[in-house]
Amino acid sequence: MTLPDMRFDVTAPATPLADLGRVHLIAIGGAGMSAVARLLLARGVSVSGSDAADGPALQALRTLGARVHLGHDAGHLAGVDTVVVSSAIREDNVELAAARAAGLRVLHRSQALASLMAGSRRVAVAGANGKTTTTSMLVVALDAAGAHPSYACGAEIAQLATNAAIGDGSVFVVEADESDGSFLAYRPDVAVVTNVQPDHLDFYGTAERVEEAYAAFVATVPADGLVVACFDDPGSRRLAQAVRSCGGAVVTYGYEPGADLRVLSTEPDGLGTHSRFVLDGVEHSLVLLVPGPHNVMDACAAYLAAVHGVGAQPDAVLAGLASFSGARRRFEVRGEAGGVTVVDDYAHNAPKVAAVVSTGADLVRRAGSGALHVIFQPHLYSRTRDFAVEFAHALAPADHVVLLDVYGAREAPVDGISSALIGDPLRELQGERSVLVGPGREDAVAAVARSARPGDLVLVVGAGDVTGLAPLLVQALSRAASATSTDSSTTSDGGAR
């Protein structure tokens, strides 16, 4: 397919790693770019990079041997052979413009990853929702099964304490980003599609173009490869049917009858789950430390990719999945104070938000008391405009919702587009429950700290800088609990209140 506004030919053959020379990464501290930098360094490539501000990611890369500059300057390209960028880097960036003018090789992040994957058995995990968790689960499961894969993930895998590494096995697992069409670069032997849903319409324009992109992605799988697809998601199911009709190998998973791997039951177990599934007539038990049916689905995708796609031993894979403790910002517990638990999650489209909020609501309901508070930061003006009502329905199970202003990221503000587009229909859905729209960050934290009570759960949700509120909430809740304790002590000692 011809992708809209594509700045890079990601369908071109990958550049051999030995031909890259010295590599410079613009905005090297981002999650995706830092993963590429780590892998290049591990392969012995000379790496430099630049970013606007310092932070832990840059410090870690310096420790690994990268030369990192703060700020962007054309002088940083001295001696560089290849420049790597993400789609977020504009053509007028001073370093990118200088690289183009000098005729240097300029690669998209995905193309650099494709160079690193050469010679490996390649597994690429794609989907609107769940790809980070599925990738993380697959890496942990393969490691437990002795496959020791190389990998690049969109978030730090908690128990491995990194988002990327070179393993000593033959498998390379990559999280494949569909947002800009760059997932066509990988040509995986095993392609996992967790779901095909309309998102990133700022790039694709229509839902039909989104489906065409996924069709192009699975078309890059070789004839002897495998597609793992979610049967319960209509878009993914249509994709699986199309691949099968062309003679391709497909294995599906889901709760619905007709899935090759069918989940028979899922029961909550503390913050985790215990499920049963059947595959090829054999029933298996799946134990997870993470909550929610959506995580069960991600684990099933990881299981099929590991066992059917890579050939790992099933029991070892299940044991690895049972040990999985999560990925950063994927229902990550950030702290507890005064009996209130604070969870941080990266969910930023409506289905992801719905999965996170429904999981939180179920945990509160099973606890038998308490309320669910959600601080949500809409991500992108275009996404807020296109899916405001869907976001309202996703947030509706919460008892209290605080809607921050839209985080524009790469987009400029748009007149008439604000978090109120979500708040208005949400108020109609929630009835007597509270909805606060547009407070500042300090006011949002203060509002939740005032209203939260022991037994409550607070979700901090979004792909922007809302994650910074999680530790502030824990601190505010701790102060509130201390103040309450002091007041109670004063009262019990006969003091006046």
CA gap 427, 252 in Å, rounded: 39
Sheet of 282-288, strands arranged across = 162-165, 150-157, 171-175, 121-126, 190-193, 226-230, 250-254, 261-269, 272-279, 282-288
Determine the Cα–Cα distance for residues 90 and 387; give it in Å rounded to an integer. 26
Q: Is 56 helix (H, G, I), strand (E, B) or coil?
A: helix
Strand order in the sheet with 23-26: 67-70, 47-51, 23-26, 82-85, 105-108
Helix (H) or strand (E) holding 267: strand 261-269
Q: Is 489 exposed, middle or buried (0-12, 13-18, 19+ CB in 10 A)?
A: exposed
User: Would you name the residues annotated as active-site residues?
Assistant: 131-132, 175
The residue length of the chain stands at 497
Contacts of 44 (CB under 8 A, 6+ apart): none
User: Are 49 and 24 spatial neighbours (Cβ–Cβ below 8 Å)?
Assistant: yes
* Tokens (6 digits) for 79: 């001696």
Residue type, 246: C
Rg (C-alpha) for the chain, rounded Å, is: 23
Three-state DSSP at 182 gives helix
Residues whose CB is less than 8 angstroms from the CB of residue 475 and which lie 6 or more positions away in sequence, other chains included:
337
Q: In the structure encoding, which two tokens stand for residue 69, read together?
A: 């500059």
Measured distance CA(373)–CA(106) in Å, rounded? 45
Q: Which two tokens stand for residue 354?
A: 């719905």
- Kind of pairing between the strands at 162-165 and 171-175: unpaired
